[in-house]
Chain A
C-alpha cells in the first residue's frame, strides 16, 4: 500500500498535466468548395497553412461532409457556395458557412474561435487600406492588443498543474482517512481501542497526523516536479503554500474521518467519499471557471474546500500573493476545518 500511496500520484500528475489541456492541437476540416475561385482557394490555403488545421478532404456536397462528420473523421465543415469569389471581387458581403461538431461544447467553442480568427485575418488582408488624405499615412482602425498577466503565454500547464496537485492531495487525504477508522471496525481492532481509556480526540489526532505527513510529502514532490520538470513559475512563498495545505488538509481529513466514523463498511465509506470528491472537484473551478457557474452553484461552492485551495495555490504560485491576499479564504478554511474535526470527534462513539 505504501508504495502505491506515493507512486500513483506522481504518475497521475505527469499524465494529467500533459493530457488535461485546453490548447487546440489539430482540427480536421472538410471543405466543400462549390465556387472553385482563386479567393476560395486562397482562404483554404490559409487554413491549410495554419498549424491548428488540417484539410482532411475536399468535396462538392455538404452531405458528403456531414457523413465524415458523423464518422468523427472531421471536426468541422467549411462551405463555399458558388459565387463566393465573385462577391469578394465585387466587394459584396461574401459568406462562408461553418458547421462545427458541437458534441463537446467547449471543444466546439475553440474550433469556432480559431476558424473565426483565420477568416478575420483573411478579411483584414482584403480590406482596402484607408489612407489619410493629408498625411498619406494609413488610418489606424481600432486595434485591440492585450497582454495576459501572470501567465503571458496563456500556457495551460501553469494553470492546470496547481489544480491537479490540489486534486491529488485531496484524493489521498479524503480517501485514506475515510477508509481508515471504518477499516478498524471491519477487522475488529476498534473494539480493543474503545475498551481502553484513550480519549476520542487523542485517537482521531493519531489518525490525522500520518495523513498530514503523507499529504505534505505528496505536495512537496508535486511542487518539485512543477518547478524542475514542468518549469512553471513559483512566485509566492513555499511556507505559505504549506500553511494553506495544512489548513486545507484539516478540512479534508476532518470530512474523511467523519465519513469513517459514520459508516460500517469500507464500501460505504468509499462510496460516500467518492460522492463528495466528484462534487468538490467538478465545482472547484479546476475544469470550468467558478465565475461561469449559476449563482446557486457559486453559493454552494462556499462549502467546497477544493475551490478555496485551488484558488489560493494558483494565487500564491502564479501571482506571488502573500498572506494578506489569501487571509480571507484561509480564515474560512480554518473555521471549516475546526468545525469538521469537532463534528468528527463528536460523532465518533466509543460506546454503542
Chain B
C-alpha cells in the first residue's frame, strides 16, 4: 500500500434488480495511488459495482464514498474527480482525435490553453501526433483504447475506473496499455480496473475476486497465491470461480 489515505470506501454495498442480487454485501477500501484489480467471471457483478462507484447507477443500500464524496448526495462533485472508461468504446467515432480531446476537456472545464497543452503532451506520449486530425473511427482498436484512457484522465482525476479496458486487443498493445496505467499511478491517480485476463491481475497492487456478487478474496497477488497454494493468479481464480453457481 502506497498511501494509507482511502479514496474509495465501500461498506455493505447491495445492488438488487428485482429478485436478483448483483452485488451482495461488498465492503472494501481502495487507497490513494494504488492499482486495484477488480476480478470476476462474466456476470459476477463487476460492471454493476463499477457503475455504482462512478455515479452511473444507484446502489440499493450501503455506504459508499468515492474521492471523499458520498455517492448519494454528492454525485456531481464526485464525477468531477473521477475518470471512467467503459468496455464499450466511448470516444466519438465521427469526431477527430483532437476534437474528442477538446470536447471532453471542455466538459471538465479546462481552458483552451490547457486543452491545447494537454493534447500536445498526450499525443506526443502516445506517439500519435500524426493522427491528430484523423477521425477516431479510422483508427485501430488498440490506438483508440489508449486514446480513450488518456482522455479519461485528461482532467487529472483522483481515481480512474477502467471497465475491461483491454478487451479484444493484442498482447503487445495490452502491455503498452499497462504502461499507461503505471504512469497514471505514478502521478498519484488511483486506478480501479476490472479485467478477466489473469496475467493482468499480476500487475495490480491488490486484487479482489468476485464470485456471484460477493467478494471472495481480497489481497495482493502474492498473498493470494500463497493463501490458495497456487502457482499463478489463473489457478487462484479457477479455484474460487469453480464454486460459482454460474459455472456449473
Instruction: Report which A residues bind B (CB closer than 8 A).
Output: 187-189, 191-198, 350-352
Contacts and interface: CB of A to CB of B under 8 A. Distances in A.
Chain B interface helix/strand/loop/mixed: loop
A198 B56 CA distance: 13
Interface in B18-76: 51, 54-58, 75-76
A195 B88 CA distance: 14
A219 B25 CA distance: 58
Contacts of B107: 193, 196-198
B90 A351 contact: no
A197 B90 contact: no
Nearest to A186: B88
Given A192-B90, A197-B107, A351-B57, 11 more contacts: A188-B86, A188-B88, A191-B84, A191-B88, A191-B90, A192-B84, A194-B56, A195-B56, A351-B75, A352-B51, A352-B57
B108 interface: yes
Contacts of A191: 56, 84, 86, 88, 90
B158 to A, nearest CB: 14
Contact of B108 (A187, A189, A197, A350): A197
Given A351-B55, A351-B56, A352-B57, A197 B86 contact: no
27 contacts: A187-B93, A188-B86, A188-B88, A188-B89, A188-B90, A189-B92, A191-B56, A191-B84, A192-B86, A192-B91, A193-B107, A195-B54, A195-B56, A195-B79, A196-B79, A196-B104, A197-B76, A197-B79, A197-B80, A197-B107, A197-B108, A198-B107, A351-B56, A351-B57, A351-B75, A352-B51, A352-B56
Contacts of B89: 188
A191 to B, nearest CB: 5
B201 interface: no
Contacts of B104: 192, 196
Contacts of A187: 88, 93
A192 B79 CA distance: 11
A160 to B, nearest CB: 36
Contacts of B82: 195
Contacts of B91: 189, 192
Nearest to A188: B88
A75 B88 CA distance: 61
Interface string B87-117: 0111111000000000010011000000000
B86 to A, nearest CB: 5
Nearest to B83: A195
A342 B82 CA distance: 28
Contacts of B76: 197
Contacts of A194: 56
Nearest to B52: A351
A189 B90 contact: yes
A188 B79 CA distance: 18
A196 B80 CA distance: 7
Nearest to B85: A192
A308 to B, nearest CB: 35
Contacts of A352: 51, 56-58
A319 B85 CA distance: 57
A188 B51 CA distance: 14
A352 B86 CA distance: 16
A192 B107 CA distance: 11
Contacts of B88: 187-188, 191
A350 B75 CA distance: 10
A195 B89 CA distance: 14
Nearest to A194: B56
Contacts of B58: 351-352
B206 to A, nearest CB: 24
A187 B86 CA distance: 12
